[in-house]
Amino acid sequence: MCGDTVVDLIRKIEALLHGPGEPMSGSAMTNDEALEYGRATFNGTPFCLVRNWIWVDLDGPEEQRDYLATMQLQPVILFAHTVVYDSLRRWDVGDFVRTTALHAFTDEFVFRTLNTNYVLLGDGLRKLAHPQTIAMITG
């Protein structure tokens, strides 16, 4: 990544955000059903409903993987093009969100970070990206 030109970096971001990836399925719940699920399941802990999401496996050095493992985290982040609902109102409906590293993946559609439960609605994509590419996507 160090020798990349600005054009190379833009292409990597474009490929990550809008290029092809491996299809993944989230929950088939409607937005209203997901909201009910979140309120009933997370007992007041923060949750966020998202659509048009990308599961990003981080292609970083082994030292970074080891560091994340010491914190019980996995080298995966989530990028969602569309926030449907955020229980803490950090993001408005329609905003995008980029998470911190994955702590646990449960129920085949709940992406848990240390701070928030993200409910993956509808279909998404799985992609591989370098951490520096992810760092260039700011909120």
Which pLDDT score, from 0 to 100, does residue 2 have?
A: 57
- DSSP bridge partners of 47: 117
- pTM, to two decimals: 0.90
Q: List, for residues 13-22, the tens digit of each pLDDT value.
A: 888 888 999 9
Return d(Cα 88, Cα 104) in angstroms, integer.
20
Which pLDDT score, from 0 to 100, does residue 138 have?
A: 66
Per-residue pLDDT at 10 exceeds 60 = yes
Cβ neighbours for 67, distance < 8 A, ≥ 6 positions apart:
none
Q: List, for residues 18-58, the tens digit of each pLDDT value.
A: 899 999 999 999 999 999 999 999 999 999 999 999 999 99
